[in-house]
Structure 1
Amino acid sequence: MMSMQILHRWLAAIVGLQLFIWVATGLAFNLIDSQHLNGNHYRQKMTAPPIDTSSPLAEPSRLLQQFPTQTVSAIALDNVLGKALYRVTSDKGKFGFWATDLSPVKLEPDQLKQLALSSYSGSGQVIAIELANDVADKYAASSALYRVDLQDERNTHIYVDATTAEVVAHENWGSNLKQLLFMLHFMDYLPDNGVSFNHIAIRIVATIVLLLGISGAILVIRKLKHGQYRIERAHSENNTLILLSPDNEPLETITIHHSGMLDALNHHKERIRTSCGGGGQCGMCRVKFIDHPPLATDQDRSKLTDDQLNDGIRLSCQHQAMGGCVSLVNAAQLRHYIKLSSILD
């Protein structure tokens, strides 16, 4: 079963990672020029040739007959590639009909290309036209949404709805980066979150933050019960520390300059090696307290056996410095001490 301390560390790692993402993406939004994130860098106002008036326009009211079960809110006349077109907006979406015969709009690839280029001011060439119905919901478009790819320095993509003859969006590498930054900043990691700031991912992280606080409080209470937060001062009459070998032979007398035992032992030189920097994870900084060993902490109990604890062995990074004698506990520590001393000499 996972201990409370391990759970607390995992929760802290998750919250810390998300905090780092918030800070990094926030800085990115502030430091990156907005023009680099603009998907409409080459977008321009669309122009079309004059409407062909050789054929009369049908009465738009006839379109209502095609929507017997829907509520039509608007019918607008537009000019698309020199042809008149009615766009109908209903409670089910938008639909396009050619204004001369009221036939449904279905643009061909050449028409998609022409329409896309009419909204584009760059010098790139069309290299592909592909169906992009996987992002239709993103742009509130129909399933006949196509992506027109252009070869330019910004890798521009133009999305055209083939049933409404509308250019619904321009994208490029800058706008894709902007979308990624927004996704990370607002934790929009799951599909169908919409624009809500109270979606499931935010709720999960909020719950993790709550659990982090609860687990931290539990750990503090446990430490208080074990007396691990007692203030222990080095005795004024003895502010020196005698370091012994594993065989209790005197190695060095150290003046205490730090409140922590590990820092006191490593003052000016690394007498005791660690790989975790004093976080209680590696267990390498263990020493034996000859007189009055302090109460064992949770880290001591997780890294040391009961026999070692009873023998006065503790992790020096977890305890305050106090005058007296401590000894190294194994040959590896002694070899490191001897090697270090020979280098300094």
Structure 2
Amino acid sequence: MANFYMGQGTLTAKLRRSHRLIAMLIGVQLLIWMISGCYMVLMNIDFIRGNQLVEQPTRSLAVQNINLNPMQIAQRYPHSKNITLYMTALGPRYKLQQADTLLAISAHDGSLLPALTQQQAETIAKDAYQGQHPWRSSILFQQQAPTELSPRWLPAWQINFGSDSLYVSATTAEVVTKRHDYWRLFDVMWMLHIMDYQERENIHNWLLTLASSLALLMAISGLWLVYVRFVPRKEQQKGQQI
């Protein structure tokens, strides 16, 4: 029995050294997980999404400017799907999906509408913006999106009001997303949390899997060390005397 407890002590010592080594490897990432997790939990997600920056004006469809119904649009543009009639600051439009292309169609004459000009995009953004900053700049992204914009929205105008940015689809004339500094910090926290430092989307990457496995091993070894630490000493002494 004495040999058993001596063996157990050797095992515990090895486990303690392994626990410390794992803690050294994963400790910084554990701190990052706690900080980033707290930020993401404490922040209101509607605020992060920038809903407070935009109030889409309520507009009724100008019936007098709608000369074509959805069936007529479908006939003019065969093989189209998801045909939607909507109102913009530039008047009523249809948007539809044709193959892999999103099209904007005039509800007045059924013509294919061109991409928004800078002036049109700024008019739409200024009409929707509810923040406190003045207009600062406008940038058109056609081929490559900035890191804060999904490529699926291209082409899009970035309309900047101070540090706030509204992205207006150059195709559909809609505000497709909003960005501000708290969102940008949230995005950094999310990147650090899931350990995807490029796309910031893959939660199944090998680096996160490795770090999670090490953190689990550290937790299990730590629980065992706590158990061993609080085993009644009398029981150990009794075992040594047998």
Q: Bin the TM-score by the shorter chain.
A: 0.5 to 0.7
Query: What's the secondary structure of 1:134's corresponding residue?
Result: coil
Q: TM-score, normalised by structure 1?
A: 0.48
Using the TM superposition, give the Cα deviation of residue 38 of structure 1 relative to its aligned residue in structure 2, in angstroms.
5.0
Paired position in structure 1 for 2:232:
none
Alignment of 1:137-286 (within 5 A): 138-139=149-150, 141-151=152-162, 155-191=163-199, 194=201, 197-206=203-212, 208-209=214-215
Identity %: 21
1:203 and 1:93 mapped to 2: Cα distance?
Answer: 37
1:211 and 1:127 mapped to 2: Cα distance?
Answer: 51
Query: What's the secondary structure of 1:56's corresponding residue?
Result: coil
Contact 2:145/2:151, CA 8 A, preserved across alignment: no
For residue 117 of structure 2, the aligned residue among 92, 102, 108 is 108
Contact 2:84/2:96, CA 8 A, preserved across alignment: yes
Pick which of 202-211 and 167-176 moved more: 202-211
For residue 85 of structure 1, the aligned residue among 66, 88, 93 is 93
CA RMSD of aligned residues (A): 3.8
Contact 2:39/2:186, CA 8 A, preserved across alignment: no
1:174 and 1:197 mapped to 2: Cα distance?
Answer: 22
Tell me if 1:62 matches 2:80. Answer: no
Using the TM superposition, give the Cα deviation of residue 197 of structure 1 relative to its aligned residue in structure 2, in angstroms.
3.4
Paired position in structure 2 for 1:75:
83
Q: How many aligned residue pairs are there?
A: 203
Contact 1:43/1:120, CA 8 A, preserved across alignment: yes
Q: For residues 76 and 136 of structure 1, do their structure 2 counterparts lie closer, same or farther at Cα, with a shift above 3 Å needed?
A: farther
Contact 2:73/2:110, CA 8 A, preserved across alignment: no
Question: As a proportion of its length, which structure holds more helix?
Answer: 2
Q: TM-score, normalised by structure 2?
A: 0.66
What stretches of structure 2 of length at least 5 have no aligned partner?
A: 1-16, 222-235, 237-242
2:175 and 2:105 mapped to 1: Cα distance?
Answer: 16
| One-letter code aligned to 2:77 | L
Using the TM superposition, give the Cα deviation of residue 57 of structure 1 relative to its aligned residue in structure 2, in angstroms.
3.5
Paired position in structure 1 for 2:27:
16
- Highest relative contact order (Cα 8 Å, sep 6+), 1 or 2? 2
Query: What's the secondary structure of 2:94's corresponding residue?
Result: strand
Query: What's the secondary structure of 2:211's corresponding residue?
Result: helix
Query: What's the secondary structure of 2:123's corresponding residue?
Result: helix
Larger Rg: 1
1:80 and 1:32 mapped to 2: Cα distance?
Answer: 32
Using the TM superposition, give the Cα deviation of residue 92 of structure 1 relative to its aligned residue in structure 2, in angstroms.
2.3
Q: For residues 123 and 93 of structure 1, do their structure 2 counterparts lie closer, same or farther at Cα, with a shift above 3 Å needed?
A: same
Contact 1:97/1:105, CA 8 A, preserved across alignment: no
What stretches of structure 1 of length at least 5 have no aligned partner?
A: 1-5, 217-230, 232-345
| One-letter code aligned to 1:141 | R
Query: What's the secondary structure of 2:52's corresponding residue?
Result: coil
Using the TM superposition, give the Cα deviation of residue 102 of structure 1 relative to its aligned residue in structure 2, in angstroms.
2.0
Using the TM superposition, give the Cα deviation of residue 176 of structure 1 relative to its aligned residue in structure 2, in angstroms.
1.3
Pick which of 103-112 and 73-82 moved more: 73-82
1:136 and 1:167 mapped to 2: Cα distance?
Answer: 18
Superposed CA offset, 1:155-190 (max 9, x none): 210011101212111111111122222222233323
Using the TM superposition, give the Cα deviation of residue 131 of structure 1 relative to its aligned residue in structure 2, in angstroms.
2.3
Q: For residues 10 and 115 of structure 1, do their structure 2 counterparts lie closer, same or farther at Cα, with a shift above 3 Å needed?
A: farther
1:209 and 1:126 mapped to 2: Cα distance?
Answer: 47
2:29 and 2:133 mapped to 1: Cα distance?
Answer: 39
